[in-house]
Amino acid sequence: MDNTHSTKDIETSQDHLFCSKTHMKGLTLVELLLIVAIIGTLLSVAVPSTSNMIHRARVSKACSDITVMNQKLTDHLMDYGELPETLQGVDPPILTDPWGNPYQYLVILGKSKSDISGKWRKDRFLVPLNYDFDLYSMGKDGESVAPLTSDASYDDIIRANNGDYIGLASKY
C-alpha cells in the first residue's frame, strides 16, 4: 500500500476543514432553546425556594422582635406596676414588623371588658390568648381580626399564653 496522497486529495481535505470552520460561527437555534429551557428549569426551582426562605426569615425576625418586646414589657410591669399604653414606652421601641406594618399592642391588664371588647385576641375556642397584654404582627398580608380562626389572622405572628407561646397563629 502506498501511503502517499495525491495533491488533489489533500486540497479536498483542507477545503472540507476550511468550510466546516467558517460555518461554526455561533450556536444553533436548537442549542439556544436547550440552554433557555435549562435556565428556565433552574429558575423555576430557585425562585420559590428563595421566596420561601425570605418569608421564614421574616417570620423568625418578627418572633424575635415580639420576644424582646415581651421581655421589656414584662420588666416594665414588674418595675412600675403597670404596662405602658403604647410601644413607645418600650426602650428602644420596635414599632414595625419585617413587612413594614406596625406591631399591634393592646393593654388588657387593669382594663374593663368594655374597653377591650372586640380587640382582645381569641383562639379557635374563642378563649382570650392573654390576660396581661396582646402583642402581635399582622403578618405578610397586613390584615388581622380578633379571632385566630379568621383567614386574615392565619399568617399573624402572635404572643399567646401570656408570653409562653410566640409564633405563627396558624400553628397555635
pLDDT in tens, 54-103: 999 999 999 999 999 999 999 999 999 999 999 998 888 899 999 999 99
- pLDDT at 10 (0 to 100): 53
Where is pLDDT greater, at 89 or 18?
Answer: 89
Q: What is the pLDDT of residue 3?
A: 58
List the domain boundaries for the chain. Answer: 60-171
Model pLDDT, residue 25: 74
Query: Which pTM does this prediction carry?
Result: 0.75
Is the pLDDT confidence value at 149 over 80? yes
Percent of the chain scoring above 70 in pLDDT = 86
DSSP helix/strand/coil, 7: helix
Closest to 117 measured CA to CA, from 106, 103, 102: 106
Arithmetic mean of pLDDT, 30-50: 88
Looking at per-residue pLDDT, the higher value among 48 and 129 belongs to 129
Mean per-residue pLDDT of the chain: 87
Please, which pLDDT band fits residue 44 given cuts at 50, 70 and 90? confident
pLDDT recorded at residue 20: 53
The answer for residues whose C-beta is within 8 angstroms of residue 65's C-beta and 6 or more apart is 94, 97, 98, 103, 137
60-171, CATH topology level: Glycoprotein, Type 4 Pilin (3.30.700)
